[in-house]
């Protein structure tokens, strides 16, 4: 029994590393369908679609070159690195913005090299989101790496809730979810993330989709671990390590449910509204982080 408990933590992390990326994305789509009164596709439909696309030969445009071939691989490897960092914690979480930046660079290079107008427009909007999101993400990670503990009192829970609200806005912006982007849209003029992948097909599209799923699950698990690692309930008791991992996985699934519900019941806002909201969120998170550190 002791041997099983010794390796149970590693087993849970390996299983979640394999299953959770496709489960979280599928759960978002399933909850969105249920919220709209539809049955929706199976939970693992993303896995089926990825396996179907990865066996197809991509169709290249007339302007395709080095980045057309290399960008999907770079993006997928960066996604695996982000997901493994969040799952196994082999390094500091401050590496997350840099790994996501590599993934975003690969996506931007792919979209710009193909030379389509819609891809260029989506790339420009993606850069704007990157400029406003990354400073806030670094602030959140600095707080995560600190020894801050949320106690079981009203003031601490209120500050924790506000901090979680600001973090959720950044997660939605990073994942191109409403109100910043609408992954369900079929209008090229309103696309951000999808506009850059209009020319992707076959195995390259599959690699980009896998990278997106890895990033999605990594951010969901990060939000869950933020509550687990900084909650007084978990820190004040001798809780086994594998139970913390189980709670974190359940928390990631709960975040998936919340994002699916938000995606079904919210719409994309005007683009001019997006930088203003992210700028105000940066100021809000900066002052809130200072108050949390002083408290």
SS3 153: coil
Q: CA 50, CA 76: separation in Å to the nearest integer?
A: 13
**pLDDT at residue 218, rounded to an integer:** 95
Whether 35 contacts 53, CB under 8 Å: no
The pair of three-digit structure tokens given for residue 262, joined into one six-digit string: 């938000």
**pLDDT at residue 234, rounded to an integer:** 60
Task: Tell the residue number behind the tokens 């390590």, with chain if given.
Answer: 241
**pLDDT at residue 188, rounded to an integer:** 59
The DSSP-derived string for 251-274 is: HHHHHHHHHHHHHHH--PPPTTHH
Q: CA 106, CA 204: separation in Å to the nearest integer?
A: 12
**pLDDT at residue 8, rounded to an integer:** 79
**pLDDT at residue 189, rounded to an integer:** 62
Torsion of CA 82, 87, 88, 90, to 10 degrees: 30
Q: 211: burial class by Cβ within 10 Å (0-12, 13-18, 19+)? A: buried
Rounded to 5°, angle at Cα 82 from 80 and 100: 110
pLDDT in tens, the chain (295 residues): 556 666 777 888 889 999 999 999 999 989 988 888 888 888 999 999 999 999 999 888 777 888 889 999 999 999 999 999 999 988 889 999 999 999 999 999 998 887 777 888 888 888 888 888 888 898 888 888 877 777 767 777 787 788 888 888 889 988 888 888 776 666 656 677 777 888 888 899 999 999 999 999 999 999 998 888 776 666 555 667 778 888 889 999 999 999 999 888 887 777 778 888 888 888 888 888 777 766 6
Other C-beta atoms closer than 10 Å to the C-beta of 16 total 20
Domain boundaries, the chain: 22-30+40-294
**pLDDT at residue 182, rounded to an integer:** 73
H or E segment at 222? helix 202-229
Residues 6+ apart with CB under 8 A from 30: 40, 41, 43, 260
Peptide bond into 179 cis (omega under 30): yes
CA 24 → CA 16, 69, 133, 222, distances in Å?
11, 28, 22, 13
The pair of three-digit structure tokens given for residue 21, joined into one six-digit string: 């990326």
**pLDDT at residue 269, rounded to an integer:** 76
Q: CA 192, CA 198: separation in Å to the nearest integer?
A: 11
**pLDDT at residue 103, rounded to an integer:** 93
pTM, to two decimals: 0.91
**pLDDT at residue 276, rounded to an integer:** 85
């Amino acid at each position: 029994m002791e041997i099983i408990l010794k390796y149970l933590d590693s087993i849970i992390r390996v299983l979640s590393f394999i299953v959770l990326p496709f489960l979280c994305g599928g759960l978002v789509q399933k909850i969105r369908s249920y919220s709209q009164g539809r049955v929706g596709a199976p939970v693992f439909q993303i896995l089926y679609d990825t396996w179907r696309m990865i066996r197809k030969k991509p169709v290249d445009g007339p302007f395709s070159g080095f980045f057309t071939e290399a960008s999907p691989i770079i993006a997928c490897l960066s996604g695996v690195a982000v997901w493994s960092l969040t799952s196994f914690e082999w390094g500091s979480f401050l590496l997350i913005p840099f790994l996501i930046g590599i993934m975003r660079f690969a996506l931007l290079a792919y979209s710009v090299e193909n030379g389509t107008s819609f891809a260029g427009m989506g790339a420009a909007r993606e850069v704007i989101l990157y400029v406003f999101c990354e400073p806030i993400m670094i602030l959140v990670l600095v707080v995560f790496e600190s020894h801050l503990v949320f106690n079981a009192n009203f003031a601490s829970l209120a500050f924790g809730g506000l901090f979680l609200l600001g973090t959720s806005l950044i997660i939605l912006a990073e994942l191109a979810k409403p109100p910043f982007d609408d992954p369900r849209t079929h209008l090229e003029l309103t696309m951000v993330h999808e506009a850059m992948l209009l020319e992707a097909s076959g195995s390259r599209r599959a690699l980009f989709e896998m990278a997106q799923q890895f990033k999605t699950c990594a951010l969901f698990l990060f939000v869950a671990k933020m509550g687990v690692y900084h909650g007084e309930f978990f820190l004040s008791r001798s809780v086994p390590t594998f139970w913390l991992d189980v709670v974190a996985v359940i928390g990631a699934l709960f975040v998936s449910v919340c994002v699916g519900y938000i995606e079904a019941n919210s719409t994309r806002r005007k683009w001019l509204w997006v930088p203003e909201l992210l700028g105000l969120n940066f100021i809000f998170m900066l002052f809130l982080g200072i108050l949390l550190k002083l408290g």
